[in-house]
Structure 1
Amino acid sequence: MSSRPWRWRLVWVALTCALTLSIAQLGWGAKAAVDPRPSPIDWGTAPVEVIEPESPPLRIGAYITNISDIDLLDDQFSVEMLLWTTWTGEPQDDPSDQLMILNGIYDGDIQRFERVSHEQTAAGSWNLYRVRSAVVKRWRLQRYPFDDQMLHVQIGLADPLAAVNLDVDDPDPFAVSPGLVLPGWTLEQPGAYASSVSLMSELGRPLGDGEVIRRQPAVSLDVLIRRRSLLYVAPDFLGYMLAVGLCCMSLMITHSRDDLILASVVSAGGNFVYVAGKLPVTAMAGFIGHLQLIIFLGILYVVAADELIDSHLIVLNERVSQVLRVLLLPSYVGFTLLAIFLIIP
């Protein structure tokens, strides 16, 4: 028999095996492309984020018992008050003893904070302090004596980098003693609110992510006081009143006019020196400076008009001179009063 049929059988077996291996290889490649096996995770080295509990705020309340030593020249006043704090965190972390008046002046024997009472309740820690301090106040006296002033006390932690938030206590965080009387002033309703102090420096420590300006938490206490203006008119402006009166007398009499004019100049100048000695120089740019200018311009008006009428105009026309002489006094008084009325704030 011929060996050709066996050869064809061997060829068909070889082709069948090659075709089967090709199809299997294509199936495995498609499975690997569709459903890749993820790489193993090393659970022992994966970072775990730890969330720390947020620190509770330190709540502050105050009761002012006295305000004194209102010093306009040195830009300060003194305050005495009872200040309390409430802390709901761990007692050992209570930052109340680190409080201070941020805009205060500490010199001599002034006690910043003196703790007089402490209680530990179920809600947290409660502390009571007696505070006395001088406080910096930049007075705005351009409207003196028609000015209002805001007494501002800012309380914060001594460490500006402490990560403790400050807030006002509820429900009545701030009050002033009803028996407190400020001579020459009227007290308005006080207010308290959470604030912050912007520190335009890194203080040697880098800022946090997204932080542009370092801010120190604080609590602000504000008391508005209004000056009783009429109490200051007579003692502070008596020299100006006398100068106006002397000018009027110089226009009503015919003798000793030069002496009266000189006395009015001395009176107005002395009044200005007196006021400048009790107020800062910035106050002279407001009502007082304008009033001084009006008084001196009025004196110049009286001197110039009197000289023109009596020495020059009378030579040209005596009747016109007499009419102007009659109108000189009411015109001086009218112009002076109108100018003063226009500059009153």
Structure 2
Amino acid sequence: MTLPLGNGHTAAAHVIASVLRSDGIQASVYDPSENLCSLFPLTRALRWLYRFAVNWRHGSVHVALYRLADRHPASVSKIVNIVFGRRFKAWLNSIGPVDFFISTFSLLGYLLGESGRAPVVSFVTDAGPVNRIWFYGSIDRHIVPDSGSYSVAMLCDVESERVSLVRPPISAGGVIAKEQARRDLKLEDRFTVLVTGGGLGLGKGILEAARALVAARTDVQLLLNAGKNAELLNDFTDLCTSGTSCTVTGFSSDFPLMLAACDLVVGKAGWLTLNEAISAHRPTLIVDVVPGQEEGNCSFAEKARVGRRVSPIEVPAVVQHYAGSESALRDDFSFTNEMLSVAWADDLADDLKKWAWDRW
């Protein structure tokens, strides 16, 4: 169960469903916003609201809402339940029998718990000092990605036996060969940078970094991925009319190939974006952080030595430094530390099966 407030929540739901299906468990992904309002498209409204909150006046709206939810999780949850609770329960009754729910969005976990329909697992999609609203409500199991989010659960008086730590993924031998990926994408075999705006292309730092790279005319190959953001796609296309060696794409199933083909990622601190880069063993220069929500993700990436926060204008110099020294890239980043899990999918499936077995 997910909501379209940041593509990471939705993508995480599909990844979890895929993991469960591969383990023989029947799983479906639902977005309640597609069904709760007949008067106007709620999904589109939520996406617009999220974009506005994150981008207007340096994210001040998002910061205010985030702090409100963190300081008053009970009040915020109850208001949402008053507005949507009755219709949400009616919609739940229409989807057929369910053994348990997995929520990848905090308030959905609360609404599912209030419905009393089936046991609820909350899958936390950010790291570090996450919002306390993740741990409010009648939730049976919390899955968190790191010690920081685990500590918040403890501060919220969640019993330790109801919280499990499943570390972020690192691939185990499944990394696509860089040379093959470049051949498949018809790219030159030289230092390549993937600039990606994530699923929704949120954040202005991505475009600023791309402009800085193009203006600097560094001797690197650029892949500019705009996700589902049509405006960012147009901006990227305009940038590449200047003769710079770059390839522009929107949302594409070739994204894993792009990751494999690059040496370095320039992007935001979304949990999904970071984990995709981690799984491909590609370090990330973080140029965008959604205030409040993604600061913990950025801190995790830096502590785990899989990412580094830089300003957009610093990107060309940092890229040129790494392009000229493979040893510097190896020295500054690592994908073999204990903060990452080789067997992430197995860990998740095993944890859920053990929890379900103990209940039934």
TM-score tier after normalising by the smaller chain length: under 0.3
Higher relative contact order, structure no. (Cα contacts within 8 Å, ≥ 6 residues apart) = 2
Structure with bigger gyration radius: 1
Greater strand fraction, Structure 1 or Structure 2: 1
Structure 2 length as normaliser, TM-score? Answer: 0.23
